[in-house]
Amino acid sequence: MGLIVLEGLDGSGKGTQAQLLESALEKRLGAVRRVTFPDYASPSSALVKMYLAGDFGKEPGDVNAYAAGAFYAVDRYASYKRGWGADYQKGIPILADRYATANLIYQLAKLPQQEWGGYMAWAEDFEYGKLGLPRPDRVLYLDMPVEVSQWLLSQRYQGDEGKRDIHESHQGFLRDCARAAAFVAQKQGWSVIPCAQGGKPLPKEEIHQKVLAEALKGFSSPC
């Protein structure tokens, strides 16, 4: 049984790397279930979509860390109960493109650092304790500098900046998220994978090989 999480800031290449990793793991392990958060196809993500669209305020901090964290947590709970939970219980490896760990990146960025420990304890108790979601066996963090990820986002949206959500639109907030991610990665032993060099992204296949090597340390063959 295994639950591997791929984390990273917006524009870090998570979607691409998750797709490459899923294909590689299927060849090695057989069945693999990939899940993505937020689950935009489900009604459970309604509050997340409203938040990211700016319906509750145009700045990320307009919704406090605990409220926003709860939006995302409930979406994950619904996904687990209605979707991949049965496969996880059967021992089928799960690959998550973001997970509960994302709250420790994006919500800590809203708080002064002296409150980070308290929020981390609350978030983990809420999702893993109260909601009963499984803890990840391994977290892989794509360390893409904000300047590079912003350039990649512009490429994704073909220069249409109006397509960015309230996280993607605020570089200062994303810098704070990167600082929070570095803190949590060190505290929780995440595998940090450098994704850029000299101000440019590394080739996606080079990143993939690093990601795959780290992922295989956490997965076991399905039962």
Q: Which two tokens stand for residue 17?
A: 């790397």
**Does residue 181 sit within a domain?**
yes
**Does residue 83 sit within a domain?**
yes
- For 129, the domain range is 3-215
**Does residue 223 sit within a domain?**
no
- The arithmetic mean of pLDDT across residues 161-189, rounded, is 81
- Please tell me the pTM assigned to this model: 0.89
Distance CA 175, CA 155 (A): 20
pLDDT tops 90 at residue 222? no
**Does residue 221 sit within a domain?**
no
**Does residue 43 sit within a domain?**
yes
pLDDT-above-70 percentage for the chain: 87
CB 6 within 8 A of CB 99: no
CA torsion 79-60-168-76 (nearest 10°) is -10
**What's the domain count of the chain?**
1
CATH number at residue 98: 3.40.50.300
